[in-house]
Structure formats: structure tokens, C-alpha cells
Amino acid sequence: MGRLFGTDGVRGRANADLTPELALAVAVGAAHTLAESDLGHRPLAVVGRDTRASGEMLEAAVVAGLASAGANVVRVGVLPTPAVAYLVGEAKADLGVMLSASHNPMPDNGIKLFAAGGHKLPDEAELKIEAAIELNGSADWHRPTGADIGRVHDLLDGADHYIQHLVGSISHPLDGLKVVVDCANGAASDLAPVAYREAGAEVIAIHAEPDGININDDCGSNHLANLQAAVVEHGADLGIAHDGDADRCIAVTADGQEIDGDQVMAILAVAMRDAGTLTQDTLVATVMSNLGLRIAMSQQGIRLIETKVGDRYVLEELRASGLALGGEQSGHIVLPEFATTGDGLLTALQLMSRMAETKRSLADLASVMTKLPQVLINVPVEDRTVGAGASSVLAATERAEAELGETGRVLLRPSGTEPLVRVMVEAATQEVAQAVAERIAAEVRLASPVAVA
């Protein structure tokens, strides 16, 4: 068996790649791995899901797998991913399972696992679970019987606990703010409007009627057009877009302009610096963040640490260095004082609290950062390692970096999951960025051409 876990759990097309049998095996493997850790008690797992129709089927398989391996299970139903992570910590559970494919289309689904405290599993734990899955059915496999089989209970007020936690995180109520929230017909459809109203805002909710099929369907953080129009139509102060499991937050200004994760981080970093809560005056972002973020933070006296692409690497750096803010351009923002993973609702509340505190518009707050034009070209290749590492490609990249100087940058990296090389260029103008990116992409294609059938 190859690697089962990707950068964010197990993901695939529900009932094709991600079958109930696989979901059950992952759950059993996770429970057995926990049991081997000598916890001193029966393992306890919290299980949640987003609004995808396939989540009902996969939830049943995961719960059955956990109980069959001797773990007690608390089902929390439809909740955002960060809510499940929070409840793992609150319940002092040993494991959290979230069934979601985040921003992916409805036919996909995924299994995200959290360790005790609500933290994402390290690579070593995932490897142990994969090894345990391979042992399934062998003579060494223990199946509890009788009273040793796990029990299953439902937690009916998990959402209330989570909302109270969120609202308690802000320093200024949102009185006077009018917000349109796009819930992506996902896990935040019930919670986000309630949380924002309890914090004091006037709320207009759109795409908040999930039917199991319409999650992320032309809505949410990847499809902003409807939200942008609604903000202008209703004369709102801002718009907030979440994805299917609400671990992302993208914002929209009163005149309909997008405020991405980099800009949100810039606003929050300055707010936390001013409040004395930005540990070491340091922000953590990935190498994909816009160069404008680095320039803005330098101007504000804030240090920026860059990690590899993926929120798990941001989380690792935050935990290792004891830092207070990090995130990604995509809208995954992590505030370790209040959450163990990216939390879209928490981010939105902190953003709106800053608006209420300063009485400044979102556009004004976002002006702390000027985004440089950015061009990303995904180049199909025969061999992504050759395509990214060929001497001709490296030479073209060096020439481009010398040409751009301090006014731009080049990022060249092979995809971790597809036969692609990603060429990203930032420059002072869109035209320069496009021209430089296309030159490098042409060299990548020459270095590793895709075979023509």
C-alpha cells in the first residue's frame, strides 16, 4: 500500500476512492494505534462531518470502526472542522475525526484526524495508522467483544459550546457592523450567522440552506461573485466567505473588492502588534504568500517567517516557536490562543472586532498591504522533478530573479500530488509578471515535455 494520507488527511471521490470500507479501516487503525499508546483508559473519539450527502454514509462507517476497536464515540453531527478540533480538547478526547473535503466539490469527501488537544496528527502517527490498516484481519488483530466494545453517544449542544468560545474571543463587540456571510451551503450554515449576531453584528446569510448536494456549488470562498454582489446590494460593511467545512475565511470590502488571506493576516498582525499579543512581533506564512505581505510587515516592524505550502507546516512552526499568528493566502488563518487549527469563523470575528475597535472600513485597514501582481502557471510535465530541476530551467529562473531584483520574485516548485511544475512570478506590473512566468514555463516544457499519444 502506498501513502494513504495526503497533506490534509485522506481524501477522494466518495464511494469510489474513499469507500465505507476504507473509512472503517482508517477508523479501526486509528483506534488500535491509540490503544497501543497505553492511554490508561478506553480511547474516546469525537466524530463530526460537513453537509455532504456522503458524510452520512462515511460517518456510519467511521463510528462502527471506532466502536468495533473498543473506542467510545461522541457524535457531534454537522459542525465546522475547527469546531470538532475544539470539542476534542474540551471533551479531553484522544482522537477527533472530521469527515469533509473542505472546499472540494460535493462528490469528494475526506477524513481529517486530530490528536488529543485538537492538534493535527504528525506524520509518524499517520504512518502508524497506515501500518495498522495493513494488519487488519491478521492473527495479531484483536477484536474486543462483550462489554469491551465501544459505546456511541450524541452530543447535542456542541455547537453552543463552540459559539460561546468564539464570541468570547473578541475584545470589542460588533455593534453597528452589517455583514453578509456566504456559508457555502456547508458546515457553517447554522453556526456562522448565529455567532456573528451574538457578537453584535447585523447579519445577512446567503448560501446557508444545505441539502447535501449544493455544498461549495458556485458559492463560498472559491466563488465570490454572489457575495460581492450581495454586499453592494445590501449596503453592508463587509462580506465573509467560508468554505464547506469553514476552516477558511475570505473577506469582501463594502464596494465588493476581495480581501484574501494575506491581507487578513496583515490586518490581524498589526492589530495584535498594537495590542501586545503578537508574540515576538512575528507572523508565519507560506512561500506562496504575496511579496506585498513581506514588504508590508517589514514596514510595520513585524518579522515574517515563511514555511512550505500547507497549513500543517504553518501550524508546526507556530507550535515549535510559540508564536501567535499564521496562515495562508487561501484564508486558512491560525490563532493558537483560541484554536488549534485554521478557523474561518474565529478569523472573521477577529477581523470584524478590529473594524469595530478602530471604526475604520475594511478597505482602509487592508491598505496596510499592497498586493503585487501575481501570475501562477501550472505546467504539465512528464517528470516534475526534472521539469523543476533542469539546468536550463534553473538558469532561466536566475535570469528572471536578476531582472526583477527587489521588485518581484520567482517561485518554482513541483506539485506534491500531480505531474505539474508550478511557476509563480510576482512583479511590479501584471504584464511583467505574465511575461516572466511564460518564459520560465516554456523552459520547463522543453526540459520535461509531456508525451503525446
Residue 102 designated active-site? yes
Eight-state DSSP code of residue 114 = E
Phi, psi dihedral angles at 166 (to 5 degrees): -65, -50
- C-alpha 257/C-alpha 263 separation (Å) is 12
The residue among 160, 312, 347 whose CA lies nearest residue 242 is: 347
Question: Is 245 labeled as ligand-binding?
Answer: yes
Question: Is 68 labeled as ligand-binding?
Answer: no
Cβ atoms of 194 and 251 closer than 8 Å: no
Cβ atoms of 277 and 335 closer than 8 Å: no
Type of residue numbered 261: G
Question: Is 343 labeled as ligand-binding?
Answer: no
- C-alpha 84/C-alpha 167 separation (Å) is 17
- C-alpha 444/C-alpha 424 separation (Å) is 13
136: region left, alpha or beta (phi > 0 left; psi from -120 to 50 alpha): beta
The three-state secondary structure class of 30 is helix
Cβ atoms of 46 and 62 closer than 8 Å: no
Q: Which helix (H) or strand (E) holds 124?
A: helix 123-135
Burial 143-178 (b: 16+ CB within 10 A, else e): ebeeeeebebeebeebbebbbebbbebbeebbeebb
- C-alpha 376/C-alpha 433 separation (Å) is 9
CA 126 to chain centre: 18
Q: Which helix (H) or strand (E) holds 46?
A: strand 44-49
Burial of 2 (0-12, 13-18, 19+ CB in 10 A): exposed
In the set 100, 102, 169, 289, the catalytic residue is 102
Annotated binding site, which residues? 102, 243, 245, 247
Binding site for Mg(2+), by residue number, is 102, 243, 245, 247
Residues annotated as part of the active site: 102
